[in-house]
Amino acid sequence: MHRLCIVCKGSRLLCGRKICPLLAALKQKTKFAELSNTTEFFGPSTSIFVGRIGYPHVRVGPMTIFEGNDSDVELGRSEEPSEWFAQGLGMDEIVELRSSSLRAKRAENVTSRSNFVSDMAEIALAKQPVDVELTFKSKPSFNLSFSDITRPTGASVNVEKMHVTENPKIPKKVDRIVSDELRAVESAKGLYDLGLDVYKVAVILSSGALGLHRAKKMVPTRWSITATDDVIFKKLAAQLKEYPPVDSYYVYESSYMDNHFQILLMPSLFEYENFEAWFPGSVWNDAFGQRPVIVEEYEGFKGRKRYAAEEGGGYYAARLAVAEALHTMRRQAGAVVFREIHPRYFIPLGVWVVRETVRDAFRKRGEKFDTKKEALEYIDVRLRTKAGMQLGMQDFEVLSKILRQKRLTDF
Amino acid sequence: MFEAKIDAGVLRECIETITAIVDEGKLKIAEEGLKLRAVDPANVAMISFELQSDVFDEFRFAAKEAESGAEDTSESKAETEVGIDFTKLLGILGIGGREEVELELDEHAQKLFTKMGCLAYTVSLLDPSSLRKEPKVPELEFPVQVIIETEEFRRTIRAAEKIGDHIVLGVDGEVFYMETEGEMDKLRLGLRKEQLIHLTPGTLHSLYSLDYITAMSKGMSHAENITLNLGKDYPLQIDFEVAGGKGKVSYLLAPRIESE
């Protein structure tokens, strides 16, 4: 997983955590041993997962929890990143929570209309976990996996048959939107307007329940998350680009699991820039370099056409959270997001970390400044203290499309 | 009342200069011709555009006030302002081909009728009050002026795009240069006075965002020469003519602050 882990092997806790997250996962594996001989499963399915390898022939199926602790709260919790954040779960707790998940899978084409696929769609649409009976083809294998975009998953198993043993409770309004002959983008917006969070919208999008009848297809979970962030952002952006600009410079801040965010809002029409500074030792910076590696992506008022390849899903997750905040303020702004990823964030847990932390930053009162210079100095000081002098505003400014650009109004 | 006929190619060339900076804007129509001034959403680039009425094969205009016999006699009022989505209009002109375009404005219905051969297209106008206010032109004095062949300039920009995000435009003595630096590579174009059409000697340079200059270089593709007005860490003004000298375009671009 990581050089530090190889050296430490859970004994010395070199990462500075109280519990080794990998050992926490291993603990699950021991529990899992009891299950690993069974070829059947009965219990609630909390969500679905659609793979991407081999697209359009992918592995799809319901997600279940195999571990005993099955109070409804716990079940809901296993799929609710906003809850994880609110409860302040740490890396090890999340790994533990997610490693008790079992991903049942079966090969299907994304356009498949089999009963298995339509059962999956119902699980995705349901308000609460749905009881299912699964017959496995083989024994489950424990293979904890992590990704930058999706939440960690635990064991997986090939499934022969699925039987839904109860009537899934699908909210009427959700059902109405899904049964309308609408393009997937329109339906996704409608679901968000109903108050569904992007996590649920993404699950529904991945299930293939959305889209014009002829074009309905499943969307790999990984893609559905960023697609939903993008679609909902565009919906919000169309509105917020009509709002008046913020009246001054504001800085918002939040930190979670060694991801430190500072967000600068400037009084101008909407434009957006996102910086990620990966410290040596964090997930994607292999500690060869001595300095943090900074990547940058930008979009102007008109929006972007090209995928933000430098940053991927994190760019879109943060952009959504910024747009949500501006939309609530009924204001637009030029927004710059500074994200530092410190060395102790060395297991990727998914882009929800970005989304929830930025959302949290806007729940607090921002610091107000009269000039850009003062705002940048404030950010600079906070960067330097957190980063141990390794990183300053200047490192970002050189790369910035926004910060070093003069405006005609300056002359 | 506004009715006009114009060569489709000429009209397209003019609109392309506008869409290089903005998607939509307020076009002023007067007896002398058309005028527009607009700034991009980020306040970084501005266009001032003028087209004389005699480039049109037919041009008839009467201001509203005059029609209704209003007492306001000041001549400056004799103009009409319409909000146009130029990107959309350009898209349709592209389909219309090379024929002559007939334009007719219906101010009451807020529509612009266009006709290209047998193709008729009605453009809904944008409410001018929903568009951004016409920007103030900053008062600028440029110490240096360079006149260069458009193609030479555009070629360098095309190459620079492949290398970096920013470009330096400057004059060193009697040499005009453009320079861009990427992570790995560096590109420099240096032209001596005699290789240019005109050059004011001096020593100064400014840094600009290539995104904007690239867009501008598309807008100027029909002009033979362009005039670059330069200063030190100062906006860049690019002037050129379109429509066979009957149209004047001036771009203004704010610089980037250089890193120490």
Same domain, B71 and B154: no
Three-state secondary-structure class, residue A215: helix
Q: Residue A72: what pLDDT?
A: 43
From the list B23, B41, B235, which residue is nearest A408 (CB)?
A: B235
Which chain B residues are closer than 8 Å to A300 by Cβ? 41-42
Look over chain B and give the mean of its residue pLDDT values, rounded to a whole number: 90
Q: Which two tokens stand for residue A58?
A: 């992918």
Is B259 inside any structural domain? no
What ipTM does this complex have? 0.87
Closest alpha carbon within chain A to B210: A401
Is B57 inside any structural domain? yes
How do beta strands A101-109 and A153-164 pair? parallel
- For residues B152 and B136, is the Cβ–Cβ distance under 8 A? no
Phi-psi region of A268 (alpha: psi -120 to 50; beta: other; left: phi over 0): beta
Same domain, B64 and B175: no
Q: Is A305 on the interface with B (CB under 8 A)?
A: no
- CA-nearest of B219, B240, B82, B216 to B146 is B240
Same domain, B189 and B231: yes
- For residues A95 and A147, is the Cβ–Cβ distance under 8 A? no
Domain parsing of chain A, residue ranges? 16-164, 172-236, 249-406
- For residues B98 and B37, is the Cβ–Cβ distance under 8 A? no
Instruction: Tell me: pLDDT of A353 over 50.
Output: yes
- Distance in angstroms (rounded) separating the CA atoms of residues B250 and A143: 63
How does pLDDT run across B22-79, given as a tens digit for each residue? 999 999 999 999 999 999 999 999 999 999 999 999 999 987 654 444 444 444 568 8
Closest alpha carbon within chain A to B47: A408
Closest alpha carbon within chain A to B39: A408
* Position A389 confidence tier, pLDDT thresholds 50, 70, 90: low
Q: Quick one: angle between helices B210-219 and B8-19, nearest 10?
A: 170
Looking from the CA of A323 toward its CB, the CA atoms found within 13 Å total 26
Mean pLDDT value across residues B170-191: 93
Three-point CA angle B107, B112, B118, nearest 5°: 140
- In 3-state terms, chain A is what percent helix, strand and coil (to 5)? 40, 25, 40
From the list B39, B211, B257, which residue is nearest A406 (CB)?
A: B257
Q: Is B41 on the interface with A (CB under 8 A)?
A: yes
Q: Residue A57: what pLDDT?
A: 96
Which range is least confidently modeled, A233-237, A286-290, B56-60? Answer: A286-290
Q: Which domain holds residue B122?
A: 2-130
**Closest CA–CA distance from residue B46 to any residue of chain A (Å):** 8
Is B135 inside any structural domain? no
Q: Residue B64: what pLDDT?
A: 66
**Closest CA–CA distance from residue B246 to any residue of chain A (Å):** 27
Same domain, B125 and B149: no
- Let me know how long chain B is: 260
Instruction: Tell me: pLDDT of B9 over 80.
Output: yes
- Distance in angstroms (rounded) separating the CA atoms of residues A17 and A6: 15
Which residues have a Cβ under 8 Å from the Cβ of A338 and sit 6 or more positions away?
A261, A262, A263, A264, A275, A277, A379, A383, A396
Position A11: which residue type?
S
Contact B140 A411 (CB under 8 A): yes
- Distance in angstroms (rounded) separating the CA atoms of residues A51 and A372: 45
Which chain A residues are closer than 8 Å to B140 by Cβ? 411
Same domain, B122 and B227: no
Q: Residue B70: what pLDDT?
A: 47
Closest alpha carbon within chain A to B23: A302
Q: Which of A19-33, A63-77, B46-60, B123-137 has the highest mean pLDDT?
A: B46-60
Which chain A residues are closer than 8 Å to B23 by Cβ? 302
* Position A32 confidence tier, pLDDT thresholds 50, 70, 90: low
Q: Is B46 on the interface with A (CB under 8 A)?
A: yes
Which of the pair, B64 or A405, is modelled with greater confidence? A405
Contact B254 A404 (CB under 8 A): no
* Position A2 confidence tier, pLDDT thresholds 50, 70, 90: low
- How many Cβ atoms are within 10 Å of A53's Cβ, its own excluded? 8
- For residues A20 and A124, is the Cβ–Cβ distance under 8 A? no
Which chain B residues are closer than 8 Å to A404 by Cβ? 256-259
**Closest CA–CA distance from residue A170 to any residue of chain B (Å):** 42
Which residues have a Cβ under 8 Å from the Cβ of A371 and sit 6 or more positions away?
A249
Contact B43 A411 (CB under 8 A): no
- Distance in angstroms (rounded) separating the CA atoms of residues A30 and B103: 78
- DSSP characters for chain B? -EEEEEEHHHHHHHHHHHHTT-SEEEEEEETTEEEEEEE-TTSSEEEEEEEEGGGSSEEEE--HHHHHT-S---GGG-EEEEEEEHHHHHHHHHHHTTSEEEEEEETTTTEEEEEETTEEEEEEPBPGGGSPPPPPPP----SEEEEEEHHHHHHHHHHHHTT-SEEEEEEEETEEEEEEE-SS-EEEEEEEGGGSSEE--EEEEEEEEHHHHHHHHHHTTT-SEEEEEE-TT--EEEEEEEGGGTEEEEEEEPPBPPP-
Same domain, B151 and B43: no
Looking from the CA of A240 toward its CB, the CA atoms found within 13 Å total 32
Q: Which two tokens stand for residue A38?
A: 């069974």
pLDDT > 70 in chain B, percent: 94
Is B30 inside any structural domain? yes
Whole-Å CA distances, A116 to A61, A96, A106, A382: 8, 29, 9, 52
- For residues B209 and B255, is the Cβ–Cβ distance under 8 A? no
* Position A52 confidence tier, pLDDT thresholds 50, 70, 90: very high
Same domain, B149 and B124: no
Contact A401 B235 (CB under 8 A): no
Q: Is B43 on the interface with A (CB under 8 A)?
A: yes
- How many Cβ atoms are within 10 Å of B58's Cβ, its own excluded? 12
Q: Residue A69: what pLDDT?
A: 53
Which residues have a Cβ under 8 Å from the Cβ of B179 and sit 6 or more positions away?
B167, B168, B170, B186, B187, B188, B189
Q: CATH number of the domain that B73 lies in?
A: 3.70.10.10
Q: Which two tokens stand for residue B67?
A: 């029609």
Whole-Å CA distances, A200 to A96, A111, A112, A156: 22, 21, 22, 22
Q: Is A306 on the interface with B (CB under 8 A)?
A: no
- Distance in angstroms (rounded) separating the CA atoms of residues B78 and A109: 66
Q: Which of B130, B155, B173 is the last residue of a domain?
A: B130
Mean pLDDT value across residues B152-168: 94
Contact B43 A409 (CB under 8 A): yes
- CA-nearest of B194, B183, B195, B203 to B156 is B195
Number of domains chain B contains: 2
Instruction: Count Cβ atoms within 10 A of the Cβ of residue B98 and give its class: 0-12 exposed, 13-18 middle, 19 or more buried.
Output: exposed
What Rg, from alpha-carbon coordinates, does chain B have?
A: 20
Instruction: Count Cβ atoms within 10 A of the Cβ of residue A184 and give its class: 0-12 exposed, 13-18 middle, 19 or more buried.
Output: buried
Where is A5: in which H helix or E strand?
A: helix A3-8
- Distance in angstroms (rounded) separating the CA atoms of residues A73 and A70: 8
Q: Residue A73: what pLDDT?
A: 46
Same domain, B211 and B93: no
- Distance in angstroms (rounded) separating the CA atoms of residues B87 and B21: 11
Closest alpha carbon within chain A to B46: A408
**Closest CA–CA distance from residue A410 to any residue of chain B (Å):** 9
Q: Residue A13: what pLDDT?
A: 76
* Position A29 confidence tier, pLDDT thresholds 50, 70, 90: low
Which range is least confidently modeled, A209-218, A254-263, B14-23, B63-72? Answer: B63-72
Mean pLDDT value across residues A49-69: 87
Contact B44 A268 (CB under 8 A): no
Q: Residue A159: what pLDDT?
A: 92
- Distance in angstroms (rounded) separating the CA atoms of residues A88 and B79: 63
- Distance in angstroms (rounded) separating the CA atoms of residues B82 and B110: 8
How does pLDDT run across B103-158, given as a tens digit for each residue? 999 988 899 999 988 888 898 999 888 888 888 899 999 999 999 999 999 999 99
Same domain, B105 and B158: no
Mean pLDDT value across residues A299-306: 92
Whole-Å CA distances, B222 to B13, B39, B216, B242, B249: 7, 22, 12, 7, 12
Closest alpha carbon within chain B to A272: B42
Q: Residue B44: what pLDDT?
A: 95
Which chain A residues are closer than 8 Å to B209 by Cβ? 401, 405
Is B245 inside any structural domain? yes
Look over chain A and give the mean of its residue pLDDT values, rounded to a whole number: 88
Which residues have a Cβ under 8 Å from the Cβ of A280 and sit 6 or more positions away?
A286, A287, A288, A289, A290, A291, A292, A343
Which chain A residues are closer than 8 Å to B258 by Cβ? 404
- Distance in angstroms (rounded) separating the CA atoms of residues A168 and A176: 15
Is B136 inside any structural domain? no
Is B149 inside any structural domain? yes
Contact A268 B42 (CB under 8 A): yes
Q: Quick one: angle between helices A172-179 and A184-193, nearest 10?
A: 160
- For residues B23 and A302, is the Cβ–Cβ distance under 8 A? yes
